[in-house]
Structure 1
Amino acid sequence: MRPASSPTRSDPAAVDHQVVVVGAGFGGMGIAIQLRRDGIEDFVILDREDGVGGTWHVNRYPGLAVDIASVTYSYSFAPNPSWSRVFAPGEELRAYANRIADDHDLRRHLRLSINVTGVRWEEEGQRWHVDIDGQPGLTCRYLVMATGFLSHLKVPDIPGLHDFAGDVMHTARWDDDVEIDGRRVAIIGTGATSVQLVPELTARAAHLDVYQRTPIWCVPKVDGPIPRPLRTVFRHLPLVQRLARHANSGLLELLSLSVLFHRDAPALTAFAERLGRAHIRRQVRDPELRRKLTPTYEFGCKRPTFSNDYYPCFAEDHVDLVTDGIQRIDADGITTTDGVHHPADVLVLATGFRLMEEGNYPPFPVLGRDGRDLGTQWRTTRFTSYEGITVHGYPNLFYLPAPYTYSGLSYFFTVEAQMAHVSRVMGHLRRTGTQVFEATAEAEGRYVEGMRRSAARSLFTSGDCGRANSYYFNEQGEAAIARLSPTPMAGVRARTFDLDDYRWTAPPA
């Protein structure tokens, strides 16, 4: 592989860096680690935030914690023996991200507080141009989009939102200076974030209204501190922690398989649903309240979560579950469709992120061959990719949160498979002296068709998901986030995909 040359105005093939990685979350850092393993040092990591960790750097709301056991929610090659709890709190995830950046010498490649506004393929120079807000752009031979799914806030389009005179904050922009104690608080949304935050608000607010559009499946959380002696064992006998990781990964895979093979084995999701219903019955005595909190869609259609203290909050006299739709917001509260005005001093938006919606997927214009816009292409045809990481018509681009990419329930499963895929592609370029790779239309079509066949037997197609309002589904009604195959297959495919599924082009003579 040719080393990057210094860019000059007279040389359209020159580049500033061999690789530009957009995003310093766990996906972007994972790819950067792989580049260094493969001997590639000429790369830069750009991120609009002022620190590493992606969503774990941005989110700082009270009660924040990972909802997958800590032993699994980490790189397999960089275990953390110091997790304090079975489900680690957010500050420990931030510390872990910073430790990864230090241990793998990524700091010198980082450029933080850099806002990328668009990227475009330049055919003449066979390179990518990266536009940066307020600064000169960069050119690179290879571009890695590691912008993640959870990067652009979703603010509800509710009439009067901007008329509210009190404090307003989104959970991903939590402001500790906003006073909660002794005030009337309204939280909109009942997803996984709200499940973690509601108990914290319950303990502090004078009154709390929880606005629910769609209830969430919630099962018991087997959580607690990890004893110090066990952490010592993890530190000195890493095999023990690896075994714990494998055991938990096996349980997660069983849950994933229950979704993948729902048509043929519906009993697996039915068992999880019974567990969720039993959890609600144990913790919610009022039948009407229990009915409102019980989902009307099948378990797994929308991401479920774990909690032991969410449901009990609604038994408190100062906490109300509001299920009527919001009609409007005014200066001092919220009026619901039944005509009731609910006064509030603080408005918390637990409304999540835009995920596969326009403006986030991709988060800025991505222009490939012939100026083709990736977001427009996906929305006017269908969301497609090859192996969940590359797209035909967009050479030398790795798009980490591409359609049909997310495998398993821990994002790190996906990241490590993508690291292997990138390594195999870059290695072939180096060995063959080629410079440009591009997935063929035929290979991409086979991959997407395979995902659609898998979808037919999955919960997303054969189950009752119509009332879930799930972010798993895109605007075309397809569950295009998930890689609908057993989790280990993603790693196997990343190491064994047919190299002829790409077109490889040598640099001009």
Structure 2
Amino acid sequence: MNNKTPEQAPLRVLIIGSGFAGLGLAMRLRQQGVEDFLILEKGSEPGGTWRDNTYPGAACDVPSHLYSFSFEPKTDWTRRYAPQAEIFAYVRQCVAKYQLQSRIRCNSEVAEAEFDEQAALWRVTTADGAQFSARALVSACGQLNRPLYPKITGLERFAGESFHSARWRHDIDLSGKRVAVIGTGASAIQFVPQIMPKVAKLHLFQRSAAYVLPKPDRAYSRFELALMQRFPWTQKLDRGLQYVYHEARGVAFFLVPWLMKPYRANFLRQLARQVPEPELRAKLTPNYPLGCKRILISNDYYAALAQPQAEVVNEAIREISERGVVTADGREREVDVLIYGTGFAASDFLAPMRIRGLGGLDLNQAWRDGAEAYKGISVNGFPNLFLLYGPNTNLGHNSIIYMLESQFPYVLSCLQQLDQGVRYLDVRAPVQHAWNQRLQHDIEHSVWEQGCNSWYKNAAGKNTNNWAGFTFRYRQHTRQPDWSDYDLVR
């Protein structure tokens, strides 16, 4: 790394990423009257996953009142489950209200960051060579920001158009086209029903069937919207009720996984009603317990797959040819467009950035057996580095915004320590180890370990993504840092 000192004075805090995590922390800093921070954003504008995912039908699978900041409520969501455009507009609203435009530097992808022990500063270099220094570095990159492309022979051979759902090509008209969709995750179940009426033929290649439950979505009535505008406490009440309802589902996720069995039986009854054709139904029946992978919600997915122009293919893909997709049985399906609905590199938390801590310790090396952090926030050997939505803070049962709002005060308390004569704070290795041992023990008894592979796990099968507990317990853990957990260097 170039050790030239950056021209500008060191910042109090440098935040990487301007999705909900980075913006939420910046909003909290603003509320405290702090000006001395900067957000580096690799995209052309803020918004994170809600800027990137503009595919047809993109929407949140957490209710809108729960998927927004408690300290920045929005009483005029049009639907119970907000569509992408509305969430993106909310993000821009937050940026404008808190006057964050001047604190965000777009088109600035962080290439590397190194902790300078002498100066107790993080030295950060972006892909375009700009340099920054800061007393604290906050990674707010999220877990779903790097599209994952399938490792299939011949991808580059395909002569037609191809793109990932998170990089949707709106300039390509799918009308009358033969389309192959690879993957059946949360994005595919939203865009497949949207494009089905246009295409001549749609081949959906699935590795394993998903559990797709009905989505309790509807538009808010004019009366409800007027009520929430007039009496904002009614919005808070709705948010509270939704929180309790979602939190209660945690009992089946990580306390009593066998409770999922009656839910599975109910799912199979619904599937039989929605997909009467036995052969198609067999293909769409998951062969693992409900909840082991992400549960998806949609009201039109199964109906779309029952259309005459749809084909669900369970056969493994052997290769991509110039003309289409070749399956293991040697059959070639000729297509005009290839869409990857294959999700994100969720377990590579800070990749492709190169992060070096004390003594030049490389974060990839520290995480060679799988990412881990203390409370999902601090990593031993990387002082004054704080992760938002870090390892094992993702949820299967509630809203990630609640988890972020638990992390903000914790990080802000650590930043205050740095203003009170502490040069740097580094979480102690035994503390981090004990936390993660306990955490992995809890995960072992959860529904995610009932015999399936999912994006919650890394290649070695370690669950690096999920929190296996109630969110209110996580909030208790993060209420206030225990300074004995850290080496405080004054």
Give the match for residue 332 of structure 1.
Answer: 323
Q: Is the contact between residue 386 and residue 448 of structure 1 (CA under 8 Å) also seen in structure 2?
A: yes
Give the match for residue 480 of structure 1.
Answer: 464
Is 1:503 paired with 2:487? yes
Q: In 2, distance between residues paired with 1:251 and 1:287?
A: 34
Give the match for residue 5 of structure 1.
Answer: none
Q: Is the contact between residue 126 and residue 141 of structure 1 (CA under 8 Å) also seen in structure 2?
A: yes
Is 1:301 paired with 2:292? yes
1:251 deviates by 1.7
Partner secondary structure for residue 77 of structure 1: coil
Contiguous gaps of at least 5 residues in structure 1: 1-7
Is 1:160 paired with 2:154? yes
Which of 405, 408, 412 is the aligned partner of 1:416?
405
Which of 472, 475, 486 is the aligned partner of 1:491?
475
Q: Is the contact between residue 388 and residue 403 of structure 1 (CA under 8 Å) also seen in structure 2?
A: yes
Give the match for residue 417 of structure 2.
Answer: 428
> 2:103 is matched by which residue type in structure 1?
H
Q: In 1, distance between residues paired with 2:136 and 2:350?
A: 20
Give the match for residue 139 of structure 2.
Answer: 145
Give identity over the alignment, percent: 33
Give the match for residue 356 of structure 2.
Answer: 367
Give the match for residue 375 of structure 2.
Answer: 387
1:98 deviates by 0.4
Q: How does 1:101-500 map to 2 (within 5 A)?
A: 101-261=95-255, 265-357=256-348, 361-379=350-368, 381-407=369-395, 408-430=397-419, 432-461=420-449, 463=450, 465-466=451-452, 469-500=453-484
Q: Is the contact between residue 35 and residue 41 of structure 1 (CA under 8 Å) also seen in structure 2?
A: yes
Is 1:19 paired with 2:8? no
1:213 deviates by 0.6
Partner secondary structure for residue 320 of structure 1: strand
> 1:445 is matched by which residue type in structure 2?
H
Partner secondary structure for residue 56 of structure 1: helix
1:15 deviates by 4.3
1:100 deviates by 0.9
Q: In 1, distance between residues paired with 2:6 and 2:202?
A: 60
Q: In 1, distance between residues paired with 2:265 and 2:241?
A: 23
1:375 deviates by 1.6
Partner secondary structure for residue 491 of structure 1: helix
| Superimposed CA distance per residue, residues 126-180 of structure 1 (whole angstroms, 9 cap, x where no aligned partner) | 1111111123211111000111111111111211111111111110111111010
1:317 deviates by 1.0
Q: Normalized against structure 1, the TM-score is what?
A: 0.92
Partner secondary structure for residue 151 of structure 1: coil
Q: Is the contact between residue 428 and residue 487 of structure 2 (CA under 8 Å) also seen in structure 1?
A: yes
Q: Normalized against structure 2, the TM-score is what?
A: 0.96
> 1:495 is matched by which residue type in structure 2?
R
Q: In 1, distance between residues paired with 2:7 and 2:426?
A: 18
Q: In 2, distance between residues paired with 1:165 and 1:14?
A: 49
Q: Is the contact between residue 219 and residue 275 of structure 1 (CA under 8 Å) also seen in structure 2?
A: no
Q: In 2, distance between residues paired with 1:417 and 1:13?
A: 35
Give the match for residue 50 of structure 2.
Answer: 56
- Report which stretch shifted further, 249-258 or 317-326: 249-258
1:197 deviates by 0.8
Q: In 1, distance between residues paired with 2:7 and 2:179?
A: 57
Partner secondary structure for residue 120 of structure 1: strand
Q: In 1, distance between residues paired with 2:358 and 2:423?
A: 16
1:269 deviates by 1.6
1:225 deviates by 0.9
| Superimposed CA distance per residue, residues 478-499 of structure 1 (whole angstroms, 9 cap, x where no aligned partner) | 2221122211112122113422
Give the match for residue 3 of structure 1.
Answer: none
Partner secondary structure for residue 203 of structure 1: coil
| Superimposed CA distance per residue, residues 103-148 of structure 1 (whole angstroms, 9 cap, x where no aligned partner) | 1221110101111111111112111111111232111110001111
Partner secondary structure for residue 61 of structure 1: coil
Taking a change above 3 Å as real, the CA distance of residues 487 and 345 of structure 1, as seen in their structure-2 partners, is same
The root-mean-square deviation of aligned C-alpha atoms, in Å, is 1.8
Partner secondary structure for residue 147 of structure 1: coil
Partner secondary structure for residue 204 of structure 1: coil
Give the match for residue 4 of structure 1.
Answer: none
Partner secondary structure for residue 434 of structure 2: helix
